[in-house]
Structure 1
Amino acid sequence: MVPHATVAQLMHCQILGIEESASAEEFKAFMDGYGISEKDLSETKHFLLLRAFDNFRWAIDRSPDLIEPYAAFAKQVIGMIME
């Protein structure tokens, strides 16, 4: 079983380039520790996309100043999935 929320949060931080996020080596070690392959990440990437669009929709409804950054993040996730 893939810990979707945890992996998605790690991926989120990496996409945003947060300084304290896991390095590529640390992320791979985490994945290896759970026995998660790159193939297993497909569901998690889609979970991250769903969360990105949910946040984007929220920004449209509640916080217009965040629309642009949330839209940019959603585009990055789409790009990651399309690779």
Structure 2
Amino acid sequence: MKRAQCTPRGAVMQFVLEANQNERNMASKLRDQLTEQEAKHALVARDKKAAEQSSFLELVNLRCILDRSLHENIVIRLHNN
């Protein structure tokens, strides 16, 4: 390729090839950055969903405890009457 650089056409072709390579490198870097951002967003979304599910399960557990307690109170009252 060095011999081609000696001619004006060769120099232009070399410039175009380097510009194309630089453009591909930039595109690759941008794609990597987007992929990284998408991964971060996915982790945040996953953590948020896990927190929501955890809160829901806590509410279900509380509901079960309350139901059990209410049932026990009803049974105790029935036995006392």
TM-score of the pair, normalised by structure 1: 0.30
TM-score of the pair, normalised by structure 2: 0.31
- Where is the helix percentage greater, Structure 1 or Structure 2? 2
